[in-house]
């Protein structure tokens, strides 16, 4: 399976290091590689203060020492890597994403192949996103095969977690979307609901995804890319009885359940039914103490997907980030041309739902801050890889939106790193610490002063090895 997931990535180990350690020549390098990163700052990822003038020792891919340089000696024979006063940040973790659906301006499940899924995983790696939980759009066993082949691999990769296909009501959202019509498992009674979970468990999914949405708040004319793509009307919504059965069946199989949700009422009912995660913002009204208390009591996690909710109108606004090379490095020119085309932009601005969507986004930002302040388990989720959202870039954009919502940059990084890793149950990613792999990005400016500094990546290191990012860009033209 190696061939599917490393197109064009060349590992440059010694090239990043000072060399000259004299410990036996290039042939033996993989057996004993120690790198001493110095002359830079380090963000641990757990919310603790940045370590200035730090050093990191990575021994055969694993961090064996980290802290102020004054306390970390250079191991005899170790290669030196000069961080040039840059700052190291641990890999980000995306708790809600998608892979494999886009080829240039063509988006949909028909594009889902192992190769196209891998291109998106490479996009995540390019931007220092160390893992992605794909929620509901993995067809067949492709994602499980990629995941299982990744296990124990020391080849640079972004780890995939999968829920396989998500579950919705018969003719429910998003089966009404032409490009997603074959994606959800549609259930109409409790027997089918339980069987769907049993089938997913048999496929060894990591968790279950459900959609609880009836489209009602966005019914009417909807434009995408300047063209009217649908005239949405309400669709059947997964009933409380059915999602209760799904949650019960999943928990019996040791699986958690995360829900796509829009409304406060649905969120409350889902939490009461035992759902484990809410993976979009509540957008119809302000969250209230009843929901907050229930989420805290049941330890329900939450990913706001702010960047996802913003795209409903952001291309009308033509934000500065559309012109960033950091974005354009991984998004094809054809896609950028469309999203900046004047007719397309006008279409976004004239979308009849646009004012509603702006209100929903503002509410999403407020609700996120409220839930964060209340101590709800919050993770970074973007929905990137869904239409008009871009894997890798959007995780950095999401942190900026978290800061706009009121978090400090360090809090946003904490959410994007350790807090998200904890949600996915990972004990080996999400922070830089002794015993964990040396997986981090380095950025020239201080992201704790301005979070947008995370969007200027100088290098990505996987297990202490420099990832050859420029060679990956060849695969990003589709």
- Closest distance of CB 274 from Zn ion, Å: 21
Nearest CB to Zn ion, comparing residues 5 and 101: 101
Binding track, positions 133-152, relative to Zn ion; x by CB under 5 A? --x-----------------
- Tell me the window of 1-9, 130-138, 349-357, 464-472 that interacts with Zn ion (CB under 5 A): 130-138
Which parts of 22-51 interact with Zn ion (CB under 5 A)?
none
Nearest CB to Zn ion, comparing residues 303 and 353: 303
- Tell me the window of 113-121, 127-135, 217-225, 466-474 that interacts with Zn ion (CB under 5 A): 127-135
Nearest CB to Zn ion, comparing residues 209 and 455: 209
Strand partners, 377: 301
Nearest by Cα to 330 from 186, 153, 131, 119: 119
**How many residues bind Zn ion, per CB under 5 A?**
2
SS (H, E, C) the chain: CHHHHCCCCCEECHHHCCCCCCCCCHHHHHHCCEEEEEEEEECCCCCCCCEEEEEEEEECCEEEEEEEHHHCCCCCCCEEEECCCCEEEECEEEEEECCCCEECCEECHHHCCHHHHHHHHHHHHHCCEEEEEECCECCCCHHHHHHHHHCCCCCCCCEEEECCECEEECCCCCCCCHHHCCCCEEECCHHHHHHHHHHHHHCCCCCEEEEECCCHHHCEEEEECCEEEEEECCCCCCCHHHHHHHHHHHHHCCCCEEEEECCHHHHHHHHHCCCCEECCCCCCCCCCHHHHHHHHHHCCEECCCHHHHHHHHHHHHCCHHHHCHHHHCCCCHHHHHHHHCHHHHHHHHHCCCHHHHHHHHHHHHHHHHHHHHHCCEECCCCCECECCCCCCHHHHHHHHHHHHHCCCHHHHHHHHHHHHHHHCCCCCCCCCCCCCECCEEEECCCCCCCHHHHHCCCEEEECCEEECHHHHHHHHHC
CB-CB contact of 55 with 43 (8 Å):
no
Nearest CB to Zn ion, comparing residues 420 and 439: 420
- Closest distance of CB 162 from Zn ion, Å: 13
Which parts of 286-305 interact with Zn ion (CB under 5 A)?
none
| Count of residues making up the chain | 478
CB-CB contact of 138 with 165 (8 Å):
yes
- Tell me the window of 113-121, 175-183, 383-391, 438-446 that interacts with Zn ion (CB under 5 A): 383-391
Nearest CB to Zn ion, comparing residues 99 and 426: 99
Q: Distance between CA 98 and CA 116 in Å, rounded?
A: 11
Q: Distance between CA 93 and CA 75 in Å, rounded?
A: 31
Considering the rule CB under 5 A, would residue 213 count as an interface residue with Zn ion?
no
Which parts of 423-462 interact with Zn ion (CB under 5 A)?
none
- Torsions phi, psi for 407 (to 5 deg): -80, 155
Q: Distance between CA 340 and CA 436 in Å, rounded?
A: 42
Nearest CB to Zn ion, comparing residues 21 and 383: 383
Nearest CB to Zn ion, comparing residues 135 and 309: 135
Closest residue to bound Zn ion by CB: 383
- Closest distance of CB 135 from Zn ion, Å: 5
Nearest CB to Zn ion, comparing residues 383 and 398: 383
- Closest distance of CB 104 from Zn ion, Å: 21
Which parts of 85-104 interact with Zn ion (CB under 5 A)?
none
- Tell me the window of 219-227, 241-249, 315-323, 379-387 that interacts with Zn ion (CB under 5 A): 379-387
Nearest CB to Zn ion, comparing residues 69 and 159: 159
Nearest CB to Zn ion, comparing residues 163 and 448: 163
Which parts of 169-198 interact with Zn ion (CB under 5 A)?
none
Residue from 21, 249, 329, 383 binding Zn ion (CB under 5 A): 383
Nearest CB to Zn ion, comparing residues 43 and 95: 95
- Tell me the window of 69-77, 131-139, 235-243, 357-365 that interacts with Zn ion (CB under 5 A): 131-139
- Closest distance of CB 190 from Zn ion, Å: 25
Q: Distance between CA 403 and CA 419 in Å, rounded?
A: 16
- Closest distance of CB 385 from Zn ion, Å: 8
- Closest distance of CB 221 from Zn ion, Å: 23
- Closest distance of CB 247 from Zn ion, Å: 19
Q: Distance between CA 214 and CA 238 in Å, rounded?
A: 8
- Tell me the window of 54-62, 248-256, 326-334, 377-385 that interacts with Zn ion (CB under 5 A): 377-385
CB-CB contact of 213 with 261 (8 Å):
yes
- Closest distance of CB 386 from Zn ion, Å: 5
- Closest distance of CB 295 from Zn ion, Å: 20
- Closest distance of CB 475 from Zn ion, Å: 23
Nearest CB to Zn ion, comparing residues 11 and 258: 258
- Closest distance of CB 382 from Zn ion, Å: 9
Binding residues for Zn ion, per CB under 5 A?
A: 135, 383
């Amino acid at each position: 399976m190696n061939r599917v997931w490393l197109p064009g990535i060349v590992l440059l180990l010694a090239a990043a290091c000072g060399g000259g350690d004299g410990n036996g020549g290039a042939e033996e390098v993989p057996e004993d590689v120690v790198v001493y990163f110095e002359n830079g700052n380090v963000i641990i990822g757990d919310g603790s203060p940045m370590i200035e003038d730090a050093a990191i020792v990575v021994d055969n891919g694993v961090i064996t020492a980290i802290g102020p340089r004054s306390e970390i000696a250079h191991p005899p024979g170790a290669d030196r890597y000069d961080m040039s006063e840059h700052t190291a940040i641990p890999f980000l973790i995306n708790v809600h994403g998608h892979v494999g659906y886009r080829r240039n301006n063509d988006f949909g499940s028909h594009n889902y192949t192992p190769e196209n899924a891998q291109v998106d995983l490479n996009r995540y790696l390019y931007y220092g996103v160390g893992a992605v939980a794909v929620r509901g759009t993995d067809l067949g066993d492709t994602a499980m095969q990629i995941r299982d082949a990744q296990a124990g691999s020391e080849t640079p990769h972004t780890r995939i977690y999968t829920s396989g296909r998500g579950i919705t009501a018969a003719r429910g959202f998003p089966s009404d979307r032409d490009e997603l019509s074959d994606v959800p498992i549609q259930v109409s009674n409790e027997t089918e609901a339980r069987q769907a979970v049993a089938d997913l468990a048999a496929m060894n999914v990591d968790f279950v995804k459900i959609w609880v949405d009836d489209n009602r708040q966005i019914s009417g004319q909807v434009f995408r890319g300047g063209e009217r793509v649908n005239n949405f009307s309400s669709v059947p919504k997964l009933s409380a009885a059915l999602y209760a059965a799904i949650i019960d069946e999943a928990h019996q199989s040791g699986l958690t359940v995360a829900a796509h949700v829009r409304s406060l009422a649905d969120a409350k009912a889902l939490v009461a039914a035992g759902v484990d995660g809410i993976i979009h913002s509540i957008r119809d009204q302000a969250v209230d103490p009843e929901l907050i208390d229930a989420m805290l009591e049941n330890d329900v996690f939450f990913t706001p997907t702010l960047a996802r909710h913003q795209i409903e109108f952001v291309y009308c606004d033509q934000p500065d980030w559309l012109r960033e090379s950091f974005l354009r490095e991984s998004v094809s020119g054809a896609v950028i041309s469309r999203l900046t085309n004047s007719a397309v932009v006008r279409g976004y601005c004239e979308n009849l739902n646009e004012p509603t969507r702006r209100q929903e986004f503002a509410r999403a930002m407020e609700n996120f801050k409220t839930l964060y302040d209340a101590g709800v388990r919050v993770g970074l989720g973007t929905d990137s890889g869904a239409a008009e959202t871009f894997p890798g870039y959007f995780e950095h954009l999401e942190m900026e939106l978290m800061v706009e919502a009121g978090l400090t940059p360090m809090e946003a990084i904490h959410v994007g790193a350790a807090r998200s890793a904890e949600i996915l149950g990972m004990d080996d990613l999400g922070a830089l610490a002794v015993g964990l792999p040396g997986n981090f990005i380095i950025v020239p400016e201080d992201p704790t002063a301005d979070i947008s500094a995370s969007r200027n990546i100088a290098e990505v290191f996987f297990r202490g090895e420099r990832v050859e990012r420029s060679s990956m860009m060849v695969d990003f033209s589709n």
